[in-house]
């Protein structure tokens, strides 16, 4: 039985032979969906066993969609960016809350699913023939079809890497390369073992209390005990339920929220980077820059320049004048200078 690393090596070592046609000259391996989970007639005609498509929703309003998985197919979705949505099947809520980038969802054949998109999103969809699972050896597929249905794997690193490998090629991706990724993903899903104990997700009303607490205090040191107290739970129960609801450990979530606030300051103020770091709860600019680059993919200075250029090119810069400095009330919390490194104050 192949491990995930061995399977990854199989498609990473793949090189098209000279006798294979160049798919960039023919049918694309990646289709854009105009309707959710419907890659179009051309896609269904081009690929019989494997179809890969992309669903992107850029609006900020709420959008409702509904689809049913064909009788001979499995449906797999990988979130390419963090979003907020609700998935339901009949009267059953499958997922409701923040879905992190890298989340993997699996739907079985003949299953109806409704989605309520509450924020911009970007998903990679794999429509796989049931043969992709049934042809595997029994020891490589411990899950039953029922076990594969409505399977939500929050922040699946291996699935996320597969998606990134395919997105690097985009519309020019070679079909055989894309199919290798799809089959590797199917093997990865089939080999997943169901958790022995199910952890209930943090209820929405408790999650809202945590989110409100973080928004009100993100510039100060926040401990795990503070978040657990805001949710009304013990540290142990809160950490497990919070991760089941959001896919993030509490510390990861706090870091992401600080970076989102930093992005707002970088985009709309001329506040120096060192001051931005202190405002959003980091004790040093170096630590802030390290975390910012890890999450946003660029240094704060480069991200600020790219953001300004994007605003200018879209004509939004003139609509949102940039103040010379951030409001003094945001400059520096009193107790922040005396606090220890933020990352040491929140351990899970």
d(CA 154, CA 160): 10
d(CA 177, CA 182): 9
Residue 317: per-residue pLDDT = 42
Domains and CATH numbers, the chain: 4-190 (2.60.120.280), 204-344 (1.10.10.60)
Give, for all 348 residues of the chain, the pLDDT tens digit: 344 444 444 444 444 433 333 333 334 678 888 899 988 655 554 446 889 999 998 888 899 999 999 888 899 999 998 888 999 988 888 888 878 888 999 988 888 999 999 888 999 999 998 877 766 655 554 455 566 778 888 778 889 999 988 888 766 667 888 888 998 998 888 876 555 456 677 888 998 899 899 988 888 889 999 999 999 999 888 988 888 777 788 888 898 889 988 998 998 888 999 999 999 999 899 999 999 988 888 899 999 988 888 777 766 444 545 444 444 333 344 344 334 343 434 544
Residue recorded with tokens 């690193």? 157
User: In which element (H, E) is residue 285 found?
Assistant: helix 285-296
Residue 124 in 3-state DSSP? strand
d(CA 87, CA 146): 17
Helix axes 250-268, 300-314, angle to 10 degrees: 50
* pTM metric for this prediction: 0.60
Q: Is the dihedral of CA 180, 104, 106, 52 positive or negative?
A: negative
Whether 99 and 83 have beta carbons less than 8 Å apart is answered as: yes
Distance of CA 20 to the CA centre of its chain: 34
Residue 314: per-residue pLDDT = 65
106 is written with which tokens? 């699996």
d(CA 250, CA 299): 24
Residue 202: per-residue pLDDT = 86
Residue 195: per-residue pLDDT = 52
Residue 143: per-residue pLDDT = 52
18: exposed, middle or buried (Cβ count in 10 Å: 0-12, 13-18, 19+): exposed
Q: How far apart are the first and last CA of the chain?
A: 34
Residue 197 in 3-state DSSP? coil
Q: Is the dihedral of CA 254, 259, 260, 266 positive or negative?
A: positive
Half-sphere exposure of 335 (CA within 13 A, CB side): 9
């Amino acid at each position: 039985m192949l491990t995930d690393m061995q399977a990854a090596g199989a498609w990473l070592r793949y090189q098209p032979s000279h006798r294979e046609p160049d798919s960039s000259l023919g049918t694309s391996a990646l289709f854009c969906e105009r309707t959710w989970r419907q890659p179009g007639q051309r896609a269904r005609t081009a690929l019989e066993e494997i179809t890969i498509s992309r669903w992107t929703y850029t609006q900020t309003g709420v959008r409702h969609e509904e689809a049913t998985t064909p009788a001979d197919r499995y449906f797999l979705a990988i979130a390419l960016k963090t979003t907020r949505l609700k998935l339901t099947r009949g009267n059953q809520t499958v997922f409701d809350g923040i879905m992190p980038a890298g989340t993997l969802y699996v739907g079985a054949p003949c299953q109806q699913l409704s989605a309520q998109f509450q924020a911009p999103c970007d998903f990679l969809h794999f429509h796989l023939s049931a043969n992709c699972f049934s042809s595997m050896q029994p020891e490589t597929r411990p899950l039953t079809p029922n076990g594969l249905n409505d399977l939500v794997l929050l922040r699946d690193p291996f699935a996320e890497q597969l998606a990134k490998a395919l997105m690097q090629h985009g519309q020019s991706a070679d079909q055989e390369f894309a199919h290798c990724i799809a089959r590797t993903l199917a093997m990865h899903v089939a080999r997943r073992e169901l958790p022995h104990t199910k952890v209930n997700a943090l209820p929405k009303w408790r999650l809202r209390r945590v989110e409100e607490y973080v928004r009100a205090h993100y510039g100060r040191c926040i401990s795990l005990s503070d978040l657990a107290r805001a949710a009304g739970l013990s540290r142990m129960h809160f950490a497990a339920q919070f991760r089941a609801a959001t896919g993030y450990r509490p510390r990861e979530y706090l870091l992401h929220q600080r970076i989102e606030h930093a992005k707002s300051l970088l985009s709309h103020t001329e506040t120096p980077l060192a001051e931005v770091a202190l405002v959003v709860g980091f004790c040093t600019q170096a630590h802030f820059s390290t975390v910012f680059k890890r999450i946003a993919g660029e240094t704060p200075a480069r991200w600020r320049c790219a953001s300004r250029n994007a605003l200018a090119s879209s004509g939004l810069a003139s609509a949102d004048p940039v103040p010379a400095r951030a409001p003094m009330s945001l400059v520096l919390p009193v107790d922040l200078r005396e606090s220890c490194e933020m990352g040491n104050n929140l351990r899970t």
